[in-house]
Amino acid sequence: MQRVWVILGFLFAVGLLTAGVWSYGYRQALSQLSEKAEADLELAADRLSTQMQVYQELAVLMATHPVLRALETPVQQRAARAILLDVADKTSAVNMMYLDRSGQVLASAQPVVWPNMADHPAFRRALQGAMGSAHGVVESSGDRTYSYAAPAFSDAGQVEGVLIVVADVQDVEQTWRGSTEAVFFTDGDGVVFISNRSDLLFWHRDEGQLGLTPPDGGLVDFASVLVGPHEVWELNWGRYLPSRALHLMLDLPVIDMTAEVLVDVAPAQRLAGLQAATVVAICLAFGALLYLATERRRTLAEANTILESRVAQRTHALTAANTALRHEVREREDAEAALKHAQEELIQAGKLSALGQMSAGISHELNQPLMAIQQFADNGAAFLSRGRDEKASENLTRISAMAARMARIIKNLRAFSRNESEPMGKVNLVQVIDTAVELTEARLRTEDIRMDWAPPNNPVYAWGGEVRLVQVFVNLINNAADAMSGQDDRLIRIAIDRGDKLAVTVRDIGPGIENSEKLFEPFYTTKAVGTSEGMGLGLSISYGLVQSFGGNIRGANLDTGALFTVELEPFTEHEVA
């Protein structure tokens, strides 16, 4: 019963942790989404303001045209109409009109329904000597327009006329209608007048209301939820609008409107869900391993108790007769164990010495993929938030490649550094040398040492132990690198020679071997006392390991540098039998 309560408590804790991770991840994702949405909203607002500013400047420029100052005769009016029509065609304006102070249309690029526009709000504002603007809907066609009215001043500084430029809002919308986010602009009365989603046009917001109401006043699904500082709308307003969206607003006093945007929060939810699922998987995996380990320990404890009881019963009768024999056997076993332990410790010390020499380079080799993985993960998250799945997939593929590279390096290090015995058998020499070269690659590259190693196309099999052979060649490569320390030109050549015995040669271009008689003695080293390059164990350990495989290792001086030859028995099938 106690075990059940422990499991239930663990699951409850995992649930609380998962909920916390999801909530935190969702808030963080919304913050990132909000930053992008703010930038997109500002871009859309700037684009609209820029487009409308063209018509505003056009009204100011044309209001001073000399042809529009004298419109007494029909000929002058036709000339003015021609100029207005030409400019309207070139600027995509719906219409351009010149009015006198009474609001009477004196010249127009297109025919007008109302020849007198004294009540037009933009006209009234222009009569006061300021730039006027207004928006509305053409009753006959339903087209939405935005008008700018610029005053025309007489030589005495009085307003003598007004030029009105009418822009087609639909033409302005075409340039950003394909945007992913739903962007709309509401006027001072809260009516949606401009939008890249036609479904939202003419929806309105009543005073004190957060959401929008359709033009017919019908009821629609809507709820507003605050997630931290973010306002999330839950709505069902059509298939072209998200069901859950982040809502942002931006005032545009230039055109007397408010810009708003609705951004789908589904990517943020998916990211938070992925983070929560990862935490659940890790926690459950840890719990399962802990449970299995506990059960195994309990089972082993019961089995040990039973076994000890049986052994004690059987041993009691034989104790007296076997005391002397057991004592002698124990002494020999202790001696063999001590010898074997000393040998294993010596080998492990050599490994750790080699790893110490390579640690800086290996750290650099692992740090580069880690930095690349972080950059690709950030880029992938950004691309996912933008809906660019192909780019995100490309970043994830690169992350996988970097992780595979790190896994390969760590796998080789783990195999090289483990302190355990391994069986003798079939070993691919090419793979062994490749592993040794890869383990020392970082150091060689850091110290600008060239490696000349051309692996044969086919495997070369020898009799031995893979991990310990890797240690042999790592020691030889490190010794070659140490021997060339301080030289400008440094080169290591490795080659395989097939004959009655397999011979692997490791050659450097250093100063050569000083004392060949003591070359393979333990703790013999030519390095200065107190340096960290080694303890004089590498060649001694390598010699013992190669001897244990039935092979031989020897060193010799060449005209330039030293040459070490490792001879090994080729692998044959009868050795397995």
High-pLDDT (> 90) share of the chain, %: 11
pLDDT tens profile 394-404? 667 767 765 76
Measured distance CA(279)–CA(187) in Å, rounded: 47
Beta bridge partners of 570: 462
Q: Is the model more confident about 524 or about 274? A: 274
Give me the pLDDT at residue 529, please: 42
Query: How distant, in Å, are the alpha carbons of 16, 44, 179 from that of 30?
Result: 21, 20, 20
Give the strand pairing for 491-497 and 257-264: unpaired
pLDDT tens profile 145-204? 898 999 998 888 888 899 999 998 888 777 766 667 888 888 888 888 888 887 888 887
Instruction: Identify which of 418, 468, 483 has the alpha carbon closest to the alpha carbon of residue 568.
Output: 468
Reported as a pLDDT band with limits 50, 70 and 90, residue 532 is very low
Residue 23 DSSP one-character state: H
Measured distance CA(351)–CA(313) in Å, rounded: 45
Instruction: Identify which of 25, 28, 51, 35 has the alpha carbon closest to the alpha carbon of residue 248.
Output: 35
Residue with tokens 């109409």: 81
Domain map of the chain by residue range?
1-292, 422-576
Residue 459 CB contacts under 8 Å (≥ 6 apart), including other chains: 428, 429, 430, 431
pLDDT of 115 > 50? The answer is yes
Query: Regarding the domain delimited by 422-576, which CATH topology (the fold level of the hierarchy) does it fall under?
Result: Heat Shock Protein 90 (3.30.565)
How is residue 512 written in tokens? 């050569």
pLDDT of 495 > 50? The answer is yes
- Cβ burial, residue 203 (10 Å; 0-12/13-18/19+): buried
Distance from chain centroid for Cα 176: 29
pLDDT of 117 > 70? The answer is yes
Helix or strand run (H / E) with residue 161: strand 159-168
Give me the pLDDT at residue 531, please: 42
Give me the pLDDT at residue 577, please: 45
**What 3-state class would DSSP assign to 247?**
strand
Beta bridge partners of 555: 564
8 A C-beta contact, residue 149 and residue 162: yes
pLDDT tens profile 359-373? 544 554 555 566 557
Give me the pLDDT at residue 263, please: 86
| Side chain identity, residue 49 | S
Alpha carbon distance, N-terminus to C-terminus of the chain: 55
Reported as a pLDDT band with limits 50, 70 and 90, residue 347 is low
pLDDT of 141 > 90? The answer is no
8 A C-beta contact, residue 244 and residue 228: no
Measured distance CA(192)–CA(150) in Å, rounded: 26
Query: With the C-alpha atoms ordered 44, 47, 50, 51, is the resulting torsion angle positive or negative?
Result: negative
Give me the pLDDT at residue 341, please: 55
Give me the pLDDT at residue 430, please: 92
20-24, 28-32, 367-371, 451-455: the lowest-pLDDT one: 367-371
pLDDT tens profile 446-483? 889 999 999 999 999 999 888 888 888 988 998 898 88
The class level of CATH for 1-292 reads alpha beta
Residue with tokens 């031995």: 464
